Amino acid sequence: MQYKNFFIVNFGFYMKRKKLNGSYEPNSSEKFMNPKQLAYFKNKLLDWKKDIMSESSVTLQKLKEEPSNKPDLSDRASLESDRTLELRTRDRSRKLLSKINKALKKIEDGTYGYCEETMEPISIERLKARPVATLTLEAQENHEKNEKVYKEKEY
């Protein structure tokens, strides 16, 4: 279980299940993107951003502290492999930070929670699961289908 949590946290999929004011949880019966919901998602995104930034700091310290010149070739290869994995993880986190910042800007300009393609509201359940979502589930499925078709045509 501890390894699973490490994997999830370090690969950017983990999000804390904090509740606004200790008990608020948005639901679909409320008016869409009311001030409480916006505050909930803003706090969730800011917490996620803070977690990613602190993980990045830890990674940077770790990379600075580890000696990179090991005498044994196997040790050196293992260290290089670990560093490559860690850097790839940080790159994914960097991309995720960009999405989080984009979502925070959308909260500020009043477009958060609406599909970029259809301008329909994205379901609250989808936003709770993936607060950086920019497409409704249907639009995302269509996007992925089209992406798959174009990839198949390339080969």
What is the set of domains in the chain, with CATH numbers? 30-111 (1.20.120.910), 113-155 (no CATH)
DSSP class of residue 68 equals S
Spell out the long-range contacts of 65-70 with Cβ–Cβ below 8 A and sequence spacing 24 or more: none
The pLDDT of residue 117: 95
Sequence length of the chain is 155
Count of Cβ atoms closer than 10 Å to residue 43 Cβ:
16
pLDDT digits (tens, 9 = 90+) for 34-81: 999 999 999 999 999 999 999 888 887 877 777 767 777 887 788 888
pLDDT digits (tens, 9 = 90+) for 96-110: 999 999 999 999 999
For the question of whether the overall pTM of this predicted structure is more than 0.85, the answer is: no
Give the Cα separation of 99 and 45 in Å (integer). Answer: 10
Mean of pLDDT over the chain: 83
Give the Cα separation of 38 and 110 in Å (integer). Answer: 9
- Do the beta carbons of residue 136 and residue 114 sit within 8 Å? no
Phi, then psi, of 55 in degrees rounded to 5: -65, -40
